[in-house]
Amino acid sequence: MTITMYGIPNCDTIKKARTWLEGHGVDYAFHNYREQGLEAARLDAWVESLGWEVLLNKSSATFRALSDADKQGLDAAKAKALMLANPTMVKRPVLDLGDRLLVGFKADAYAAALEKA
C-alpha cells in the first residue's frame, strides 16, 4: 500500500503528522501543494468522498484574507474553485491510504487507520 500525505511542509499540523508517521516506521510519500500543485480531478474525488465542508479550511490565513464576497454563498463548485486557486485552503494534512482518506491529524485516528492497513 502506498500512503501519500498532501500539504505544505511548514504547517505545524503537517510536522506533527510526519513526526508521528516516521516515529511509527510508516513509509509515505509527501506531496507539497506549493511545489506540485493540486489537480482538479484529485480534488473532485476528495470532495465526492468527503464533502467540500470537510476539506475547506475556513480558519486558514488564506481563507480569512478573502473578501467577504468570496466567503459568501459557498457551495461545492465555489469551494473547489477557491481550493484549486489556493491549495493552502485545503485542510491539512490529507492522508491518502489508497482505500480511504484521513483529513487533519489525530494520533488515535492514524493508529486505528494504519492498524487496519
Q: Which residues are the active-site residues? A: 11
| CA distance linking residue 49 with residue 46, whole number of Å | 5
| DSSP 8-state assignment for residue 88 | G
Closest Cα to residue 60, out of 90, 103, 101?
90
Amino acid at 101: L
| CA distance linking residue 36 with residue 19, whole number of Å | 22
Retrieve residue 42's grid coordinates: 484529485
Closest Cα to residue 93, out of 57, 65, 51?
57
